């Protein structure tokens, strides 16, 4: 009896551990610099949780604009204020984490909307598989 209680406690621990690992969000880092996103293409799997970790490595401001992508995603309520009108705006040296789930497969464009930055190459893509 005692042994079976211990065994079920162990099994419950393993089961919850496995569930946590499966549902744990994966972090994807997007570095903004002069004048590119690294990586330029982000690949997500539809329906899985992610933390998009945006880092502005430059001294000046940049933003990550992907209106269609963000509009088709479910953004965690506590992170919604970080995505204003489909864009994440960061001053030099700032970073921000956005927890989200992408709901619709597709290829979405991203760019920095600061003056001339996208023409200097600050563009990218988000692919949702």
Q: Does 112 bind Cu ion (CB under 5 A)?
A: yes
Q: Does 114 bind Cu ion (CB under 5 A)?
A: yes
The piece of 23-31, 73-81, 100-108, 113-121 that touches Cu ion (CB under 5 A) is 113-121
Exactly one of 62, 89, 96, 124 binds Cu ion (CB under 5 A); that residue is 62
Token pair of 62, please? Answer: 């940049």
Strand, coil or helix: 44: strand
* Strands across the sheet containing 87-90: 41-44, 123-128, 106-111, 62-65, 87-90
Cα 23–chain centre separation: 15
Q: Does 30 bind Cu ion (CB under 5 A)?
A: no
First to last CA, the chain: 48
Residue 73 or 110: the one with the smaller Cβ distance to Cu ion is 110
The piece of 13-21, 61-69, 70-78, 103-111 that touches Cu ion (CB under 5 A) is 61-69
Strand, coil or helix: 25: coil
Contacts to Cu ion by CB under 5 A: 62, 112, 114, 117, 122
């Amino acid at each position: 009896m005692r042994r079976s209680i211990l065994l079920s406690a162990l099994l419950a621990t393993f089961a919850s551990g496995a569930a946590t690992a499966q549902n744990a969000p994966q972090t994807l880092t997007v570095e903004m610099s002069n004048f590119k996103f690294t990586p330029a293409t982000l690949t997500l799997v539809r329906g899985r949780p992610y933390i998009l970790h945006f880092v502005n490595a430059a001294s000046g401001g940049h933003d990550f604009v992907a209106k269609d992508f963000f509009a088709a995603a479910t953004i965690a309520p506590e992170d919604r204020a970080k995505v204003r009108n489909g864009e994440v705006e960061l001053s030099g040296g700032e970073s921000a984490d956005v927890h989200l789930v992408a709901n619709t497969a597709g290829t979405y464009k991203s760019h920095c909307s600061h003056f001339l930055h996208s023409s200097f190459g600050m563009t990218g893509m988000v692919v949702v598989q």
